[in-house]
Structure 1
Amino acid sequence: RLTDGQGRTVDFRNTVIVMTSNLGSSVIQEMAADDDYEAMKKAVMEIVGQHFRPEFINRVDDVVVFHPLKQSEIRAIAEIQLSHLRERLAEREMRLTLSEQALDLIAAEGFDPVYGARPLKRVIQHEIENPLAQALLAGKFNPGDTVNIEVEDNELVFKELTLH
């Protein structure tokens, strides 16, 4: 049983708790090329042991140390995030396409070796969603349009895609 700060009690049987941490991320980055998972996990667990009390660590059933994300995986995560935007645009009868260069730029800007893909959502919001919202409010794009995002001079450019 677990009781929250409001006095509500919850049955915690058959529950899996997933906790994440960036502890040891610098070690993971350094050892990523070695392909020695056990050595990497041992080094990370030493850092975890310095941070958490043994009583806590002993209550954790398993620890999984993830490998750093590759560029192809960051691109795939960016595509998933962009699919949500595409769904919202479809409600307005609009489509969104990105050039390979635009997707590469978003993936590169949205990846941080320490934080992984966490900044990606903010980059998509700042670099795509906000400028696109301003363009929609300005009447640059309308229902039925396909918005194509390309890269010019290392900047994202929004254009109406016309099919001939």
Structure 2
Amino acid sequence: LTPNEIIQIVDLMIAKVDDRLKDRDMGIELQQEAKDLLALRGYDPVLGARPLRRTIQREIEDQLSEKILYSELKAGQIVLVGTEGFDPDDKENTVENAKFTFKGVPKPTTVPDSPPPIEGAVNFNKD
């Protein structure tokens, strides 16, 4: 597998985590460095990407669950996952001691540009 293929697998697995978080009115987004770190920690030359599922569970899901349990992250937030102590240009020396960071930011509210027209209503916006 190429590094890009491993990143694609990370994206697919994190999308499943994101789907589960929707039940709590939450979402998750990973910075590229976090994806790279997961890919490096979850790939094995012999086993391929098989260990990746366990790595995501241990490194992301377990910590995320704990932060939700202790109300550090709340409903209505998107969890931004980054890294601390990881340098993509110096992977060999930073992969082992790097940590994942979790930051909750409010979900953007989506407001339609204009409400749908009501049948039979007078349209005051006509030119």
Shorter-chain TM-score: what band?
0.7 to 0.9
Structure 1 spans left out of the alignment, 5+ residues: 1-68
The amino acid of 2:104's aligned partner reads E
Aligned length: 96
**1:155 alignment partner, one of 87, 90, 99:** 99
Report what 2:94 is aligned to: none
The higher radius of gyration belongs to 1
Cα deviation for residue 161 of structure 1 reads: 2.5
Q: Which runs of 4+ in 1 moved over 4 A?
A: none
Preserved contact between residue 74 and residue 104 of structure 2 (Cα < 8 Å): no
Higher helix share: 1
Cα deviation for residue 74 of structure 1 reads: 0.4
Higher relative contact order (CA 8 A, sep 6+): 2
Report what 1:107 is aligned to: 39
TM-score (norm 1): 0.56
CA RMSD of aligned residues (A): 1.4
Q: How does 1:1-164 map to 2 (within 5 A)?
A: 69-153=1-85, 154-162=98-106
Structure 2 spans left out of the alignment, 5+ residues: 86-97, 109-127
Preserved contact between residue 24 and residue 75 of structure 2 (Cα < 8 Å): yes
Q: Partners in 1 of 2:49 and 2:80 — Cα distance?
A: 24
TM-score (norm 2): 0.72
